Amino acid sequence: MIVGLGKTGYACAKYFMRHGIAFSVADDSLNPTYLNRLRVDIPTIEVWPIDEDTFLDADQIVLSPGVPLSNESIQMAVKSGLSVTGDIAIFAQETKKEFAAITGTNGKSTVTQLLAEMAIASGKSVGVGGNIGTPCLELLEREVELNIIEVSSYQLEVVDFLAANVAVLLNLAPDHLDRYQSNEAYYQTKLKIFHDCKIAVVPRAMKLELNLKQVVYSFGLDEPKTDYELGIKVVDGVDYFSIGNRPLLSIDELALKGRHNWLNALAGLAAAYALGLSEEGMMRALCSFKGLPHRCQSIGEFHHIQFINDSKSTNPSSTIAAIEGLCSDNAALVLILGGVTKGADIGELRDVIDKNVSICLIYGQDRELIKEMLGNDVADIALFENLELLVDRLQNKTRKGDLVLFSPACASFDQFDNFEHRGEVFTQLIERYYS
């Protein structure tokens, strides 16, 4: 029984069809997103409601990431003895190819794509997917040497056996508290990335007590000590990415900007060494990789004001990283927040805003709540009903030399389809009002 017929559920259905496995579909909507596509192949397919009666004749539940494992009907089915799996778990069982799995609260897609480009530059044929782009079950059909998959906590909820060749944890910060009972529950779900992995890649700053028996590479902004540590070493006054005591590349040569992206790059490097990629290919990819859209992406400079689109920021920790990575003594920082908090504590931004932000502009459904959580003693705060009204008034709030950072720290679904749509609209508004 496939539960949830979105992009992942549809990929599961296609996989079962290719392998002659009988399945049914359950969804909260009687007309889910991919139903019309599925009916091209199976005209008579029906969509069942997600309730306990639906699962009576099922052998197994295949859960899509958009449906919580904590759903009451699914929990009742589990208690009755029904097993639950998902696309990542099926992929891990079926793949015959080497694969790296990457998770973390922030930076997953950036590191996934960077690692893929390092592998390609090293002469590998590569599949990229999972929580980004191509559903992982489609990767099983491709003739490649290596798969690199981004994995979300939602996908890890139903993983008991992953056994990645290289498992990467980038960071952990409070997120998705609308879905998890506590931060600890969310963190423990993320740590399932290491189940039976061959090599683990971890952030040194977190000092995780994982008791891993595998080989462990670590990354951080401090100076590395061993050949299994990646970090920053100062040589003749210049900062270098280094492995152990050996300098690799001057930070000035990186196309990625911001301290948070230095950590992303170091994580990618650690994973690349763990996979045995060529050092020449790693360095070449690092020098050319400029990052992904909507992730601290420069829109441009208009009227001597810089504009950064960081729409991918859907939680406070990612916005903190963006502010700390981009703040400068040479430019006043104008921060744009807004959307739906998802139960996150936006008050976590208070100190970094107080230290680095001159003006904070807030829009959207939870604007009043965000202002309340920030308090009245940080920056100059103004509220707007929607993003267009905010950008319309932005010219009155900015001055020559400012840097405008659109890093919402919230979900987008109050006014937009997703963070990509939000970032595209922001970019269009800036170009309309400023160019």
Q: Which residues participate in catalysis according to the annotation? A: 108, 131, 176
Q: CA–CA separation, 434 vs 392, rounded Å?
A: 10
Q: CA–CA separation, 333 vs 421, rounded Å?
A: 24
Alpha carbon separation from 72 to 83, 282, 372, 414 (Å, rounded): 15, 47, 33, 26
The DSSP annotation for 362-426 comes to EESTTHHHHHHHH-SSSSEEEEESSHHHHHHHHTTT--TT-EEEE---SBSTTTSSSHHHHHHHH
Core vs surface per residue 206-234: b (16+ CB within 10 A) or e? eebeeeeeeebbbbbeeebeeebbbbbbe
Q: CA–CA separation, 58 vs 83, rounded Å?
A: 10
Alpha carbon separation from 189 to 61, 152, 160, 242, 254 (Å, rounded): 19, 9, 11, 31, 33
Residue type at position 337: L
Q: Is 274 helix (H, G, I), strand (E, B) or coil?
A: helix
326, 405 contact by CB (below 8 A): yes
Alpha carbon separation from 226 to 4, 167, 218 (Å, rounded): 46, 20, 10
Taking Cα atoms as reference points, which of 367, 374, 345, 26 lies closest to residue 178? 345
Taking Cα atoms as reference points, which of 155, 167, 199 lies closest to residue 101? 167
Q: CA–CA separation, 234 vs 171, rounded Å?
A: 24
**Helix 387-394 vs helix 419-434: crossing angle, to nearest 10:** 30
Q: CA–CA separation, 355 vs 366, rounded Å?
A: 23
In this structure, how many other beta carbons lie within 10 angstroms of the beta carbon of residue 432?
Answer: 11
141, 92 contact by CB (below 8 A): no
Q: 433 Cβ partners below 8 Å, 6+ apart?
A: 391, 392, 394, 395
